[in-house]
Amino acid sequence: MMNRPGLSRGVLIVYGLYLLLPLYWLLSMSLRSNADIQGSFSLLPPTLTLANFAEIFSNPVWYEGFANSLSYVAINTLISLAVAIPAAYAFSRYRFLGDKQLFFWLLTNRMAPPAVFLLPFFQLYSAVGLFDTPLAVALAHCLFTVPLAVWILEGFFSGVPTELDEMAQIDGHSFLYFFMRVFLPINRGAIGVTLFFCFMFSWVELLLARTLSGASSKPIVVVMTRTVSASGVDWGLLAAAGVLTVLPGVLVVWFVRKDLVKGFALGRVS
Amino acid sequence: MSWMAWTLPTAIFFTAIGLALVGLTVLEVYRPTERVRGFLPMATTRGDRFFISLLSAAFIHLLWLGLMDKGLLVVSGVSAVWAALLMRWG
Amino acid sequence: MSSFKPKNNRAWLGVLPVLLIVAFSAVIPLMTVVNYSVQDILDFNSRFFVGFEWYQQTLKDPRFVDAFLRQVVFSLTILAIEVPLGVAVAKGIPKDSRFTSLILILLALPLLIPWNVVGTIWQVFARPDIGLLGWTVNALGIPYNYTAEPLHAWLTLVAMDVWHWTSLIALLAFAGLTSIPTPFYQAAELDGASRWQVFRYVEMPRLQGVLIIGVLLRLMDSFMIYTEPFVLTGGGPGNATTMLSQHLATMAVGQFDLGPAAAFSVIYFLFILLFCWIFYTSVVRSDDE
């Protein structure tokens, strides 16, 4: 089987093209003026312009949208990791009363459609006075990022031999010292991947973010759905914003490339 | 808490589930369950069977509500019998 | 989770923070949804208990049944395309060439794009006036307009989901394929196994575990798809591409029908719970083996 059949290589190449064409088109749109977009159809931009990007960086509605999104994503990621790390350690090292049930229940929250929680979240966060703050969206996103983080981290932690824990005990270190100085540094790769996934899933969510934010904390995903004005859709601007939202993921992916698949599989493949 | 809009029936429902969970936990401490193989295609613990009972009761009720109009009590009875069968021989 | 672990109930301390935060963001809201679902709520001071009326109404509502059927057809369609295609793509990835990493990252690209941007990308790509795909198809003499024709909207939606998620299956399948030791292939070659036999008896058993994960993740995630069709078609033309989540969101925040929307939510959640339980049972089972 060393000489692989050409057929599956062909599938890969065709699929690769299918993958890249829409991306090329987004990029190429973002570099055109609206007059060029609406004008005659052409594969390459007739004239390159950075006006769309300049508009985003100079218009407060746009850059504040980015800032709002980043602030709730950052809060969410911090909360998720802080609570998920001890929990994943407990799940990976011990059996305890109700552990399997708890683990399953966490999974149901990762899988629950955000639309189901729309109604009560709106009431809940209005009742506690958090509506229209980044904290509301951050907490709401914990619904799926916390379970995601626990599942992924549990998968990684289970792969670390328990002899390590025992050795630290024999050396007379306190548990806290071992955990902070030995265990976490060893697992920094795993924590990096988890961070990436919490970031990703909070960054891409639209429904809850839109419902829980009013005028003062409008996230970028919402700003993007409102590029429709009286004069029609501003396609160039929309494409430029699209390119900018894709960038963070693309920039970080190189660092977590090794464990990406495991993250997407909820930590279930080695 | 007014936004949660509690009613007596739903309060009873959630209290019952809460009590059942407490009961299962206590029982687990004094008489730990074992994974056993019954008529279900996989080995289950007591908690698993309890969960399957609840979920199937929910779907039996939904099915009835979608197809029929009257006689919901009969369906609840059927669900209860099914749950008892599951807990004992599932 | 393997079962050779010491028993220690103090481990609960580690789990407690997660429990509290998820209880706040899941248990309280779910109880609230159940409460709403059995009442007619005008405002929170005047509400009436109506029993299972909203459930009955929802289950017999043709719009709900249509959205549900649409959802099932959509989920099954994308599974039927993405799973075989993903495996085929994975088989084409060279196992140890210097391009392997590059190809894997390229494949992962669509997975890293915000979901609303996926919608935007396909919007600009498929529009007949300014999109590369839409323009080309029309130039070839095939009339195509996804904003007006239900069938075209469907095809575009499926094409978008295939573009967005086939990579996940491909990456999982690739992980499964690389775990097969080379001697397995050599042994099969010595036995004179055909290419199909190698796939069926050497590769398939190794792929089973990862594919179960992939299929169930795709099933559940496609069942709650919202953002991409919302941006691409807005559920139209008409209601042709309105899936469950969008129907629910319209009821809940568009029309503010608390009772019916809550009953809808409970039914929706029960289905997800069922899928989830199947997922968990099959994953735990393959972990135990």
- Calculate the average pLDDT of chain C: 88
**Hunting for tokens 């159940």 — which residue is that?**
C34
Chain-chain contact of A98 with B25 (C-beta, under 8 angstroms): yes
Sequence spans of domains, chain C: 54-288
How many A/C residue pairs have CB atoms within 8 Å? 310
- List, for residues C32-51, the tens digit of each pLDDT value: 999 999 998 887 777 888 88
pLDDT band of A170, cuts 50, 70, 90: confident
Chain-chain contact of B3 with C44 (C-beta, under 8 angstroms): yes
- List, for residues C66-107, the tens digit of each pLDDT value: 999 999 999 999 999 999 999 999 999 888 788 888 888 889
- Calculate the average pLDDT of chain B: 88
List of chain A residues whose C-beta atoms are within 8 Å of the C-beta of residue C189: 1
pLDDT band of A3, cuts 50, 70, 90: very low
List of chain A residues whose C-beta atoms are within 8 Å of the C-beta of residue B4: 123
B12, C38 contact by CB (below 8 A):
no
ipTM for the predicted complex comes to 0.91
**B3 touching A, CB under 8 A?**
yes
List of chain B residues whose C-beta atoms are within 8 Å of the C-beta of residue A101: 47, 51
CB under 8 Å to A61, separation ≥6 — which residues? A218, A223
pLDDT band of C155, cuts 50, 70, 90: very high
**C286 touching B, CB under 8 A?**
no
Chain-chain contact of C28 with A124 (C-beta, under 8 angstroms): yes
**A126 touching B, CB under 8 A?**
yes
Angstrom distance (rounded) from CA C270 to CA B20: 20
**B67 touching A, CB under 8 A?**
no
Closest CA to A202 of A60, A26, A105, A68: A68
pLDDT band of A88, cuts 50, 70, 90: very high
Question: Which pLDDT score is estimated for A46?
Answer: 81
Chain-chain contact of C92 with A238 (C-beta, under 8 angstroms): no
Domains of chain A: 58-264 (1.10.3720.10)
User: Shortest Cα distance from A111 to chain B (angstroms)?
Assistant: 16
In this structure, which CATH number among 1.10.10.10, 1.10.3720.10, 3.40.710.10, 3.40.50.150 belongs to the domain C54-288? 1.10.3720.10
Across A132-140, average pLDDT = 92
List of chain C residues whose C-beta atoms are within 8 Å of the C-beta of residue B72: 52
- List, for residues A70-80, the tens digit of each pLDDT value: 999 999 999 99
Q: Is the pLDDT of residue B28 over 80?
A: yes
Choice between A146 and A213, residue whose per-residue pLDDT is larger: A146
**B32 touching C, CB under 8 A?**
no
**B1 touching C, CB under 8 A?**
no
